[in-house]
A and B are shown apart, each in its own frame.
Chain A
């Protein structure tokens, strides 16, 4: 049986979890104050994911950069590759908050969405 310790990222409390793993499956979780901890532990062991926020270039907007976010948590191991891909993108102003910037990023099924509206430069 394998034991791992990590912090739950499910909410700002950040419980310290002790996770017991057998044959790659989570069999017990200790230290959690709610069920979010259990779900997090299972996900973190199987396929750790993180929400990613960054910016992409935007042409002819009131700012040179558009902040964006992942609509679902993204595979942790592919984050650096994701931001590298996003650095190549340049969108055209105007862009509305909620607009799809990149669909199914790196084939993960996670979409990249505009965090705000950026108007066209006058």
Chain B
């Protein structure tokens, strides 16, 4: 049985950032993830915004970690090769009734210590954003808001962690704790038992399940809150900016925003569901998203939609630690040194923005709890970004292809992803073993044809590189097989 100093449950952006921080120290660390790949939970479906920090209620953990995390993004993105752009973002007020709402956000931003926010009058807003609803009354612009790629934001730290000695166990689902009296000494999974001194619960939508198994916080509950999105063909329709509506108590609202890949997306709405795996799109949800987005940009048409998707926020009911603040949906970040467990629960938006600060906070808490943190002499903080054929100049492409002809074979015609890049991901330290895993890493299959051209070729490459029959290749692990039998092998004829 394997024994570790620390086991992290969950390989979303939070688990990955934590693992990377822990890999700086002389510790044996393992990350377990129930899915076939990292980044398949909440991190896989969101608006990909690195929030400035004006939105969370002042005095909450959300506010503190958002503002701190936002500051850390430049360094983290640089060290780990994560695509990141400080675009700045707008909060738009439509009509006189929304002016107060935007002003309230501005005040909040100031209270939270966000730098570089300013209020803009109608004329200024329309001169910057001519496509906006002409009934715009006021807007707030925040210089520090940014956009990133949530998949790279998870792969990069995870890969860096693995490069620095962390072990990653995919398809490994937490089932229960192993106790010695009150102390947790290990975990039971569907793949066997692991012993450890510390367990870090970064299980996202299932963080309540994990906590309850340790008999902690029975009152805490995760309510999956679904948000649906539309994605547009970037050759047909683009809004180059990041636009928020005036927020409500429930949600930041339905956005119209550009993404790091250049596509424009609209969404998310907010709708509680029962099932933690219910990421189905609904006609009502999609309708709500369209209506919300049209309020900001009236000429939005669904003609150039190329994809729809839905994500689930792990909304929790934890009270803010500061007793003076009456807020009941804050992050729960708590170390129990007596038990050897550190829980992170309810990490919904601004989780992506906060993730570097959350990882920093976890290390502090472990230190305060008495865990010895001796820095590794040979820790390498740098993880080089992948070469992307489609981002290269023709000269760079020519050189790349000359060096390795496999980079000359285009597999995804819409997004210019080459066979060389796909093979790189299949054999990477955090390997891509399914079609969706390759898609998340390379953006293959996300263009106009949505995989119609590349799918047979990717199935062939996965089959060849993994040494399995094409019948065993899956879309996203489990039983998501692409092909069910050979053309000439009919069951009752065998």
Contact = CB atoms under 8 A, between A and B. Distances in A.
A109 B490 CA distance: 27
Contact of A57 (B488, B490, B493): B488
Interface in B450-494: 487-488, 490, 493
A88 to B, nearest CB: 8
A115 B237 CA distance: 44
A87 B489 CA distance: 8
A55 B490 CA distance: 14
Interface string B140-174: 00000000000000000000000000000000000
A55 B487 CA distance: 9
A15 interface: no
Contacts of B487: 55, 65
A57 B487 CA distance: 9
A95 B98 CA distance: 74
A42 to B, nearest CB: 35
Majority DSSP secondary structure for residues of A touching B: strand
Interface in A76-94: 84, 87
Nearest to A87: B488
B493 A84 contact: yes
Q: Contact size class for A?
A: under 10
A104 to B, nearest CB: 22
A64 to B, nearest CB: 8
Nearest to B492: A84
Nearest to B486: A64
Contacts of A87: 488, 490, 493
Q: Contact size class for B?
A: under 10
B460 to A, nearest CB: 12
A93 B493 CA distance: 25
A84 B488 CA distance: 9
Interface in B95-123: none
Contacts of B493: 84, 87
Interface string A25-58: 0000000000000000000000000000001010
A94 to B, nearest CB: 20
A67 to B, nearest CB: 12
Contacts of A57: 488
Interface string B36-52: 00000000000000000
Contacts of A65: 487-488
Interface in A57-73: 57, 65
A87 B485 CA distance: 14
A57 B488 CA distance: 8
A57 B490 CA distance: 13
A61 to B, nearest CB: 14
A121 to B, nearest CB: 15
Contacts of A55: 487-488
B134 to A, nearest CB: 53
A84 B489 CA distance: 10
B146 to A, nearest CB: 49
A73 B311 CA distance: 54
Nearest to B490: A87
- By CB atoms of chain A within 10 A, which of B487, B488, B490, B493 has the most? B488
A84 B491 CA distance: 12
A87 B486 CA distance: 11
A87 B488 CA distance: 6
Contacts of A84: 490, 493
A84 B494 CA distance: 11
A19 B279 CA distance: 55
A45 B239 CA distance: 63
B394 to A, nearest CB: 32
A65 B487 CA distance: 9
Contacts of B490: 84, 87
A65 B493 CA distance: 18
A51 B82 CA distance: 58
A65 B488 CA distance: 9
B469 to A, nearest CB: 12
Nearest to B489: A87
B486 to A, nearest CB: 9
Interface string B418-446: 00000000000000000000000000000
A55 B486 CA distance: 12
B467 to A, nearest CB: 18
A71 B487 CA distance: 23
Nearest to A84: B493
A84 B493 CA distance: 8
A91 B392 CA distance: 46
B457 to A, nearest CB: 15
B172 to A, nearest CB: 36
10 contacts: A55-B487, A55-B488, A57-B488, A65-B487, A65-B488, A84-B490, A84-B493, A87-B488, A87-B490, A87-B493
Given A55-B488, A84-B493, A87-B493, 4 more contacts: A57-B488, A65-B488, A84-B490, A87-B488
Nearest first, the 6 A-B pairs at minimum CB distance are A87-B488, A57-B488, A84-B493, A87-B493, A65-B487, A87-B490
Interface of A: 55, 57, 65, 84, 87
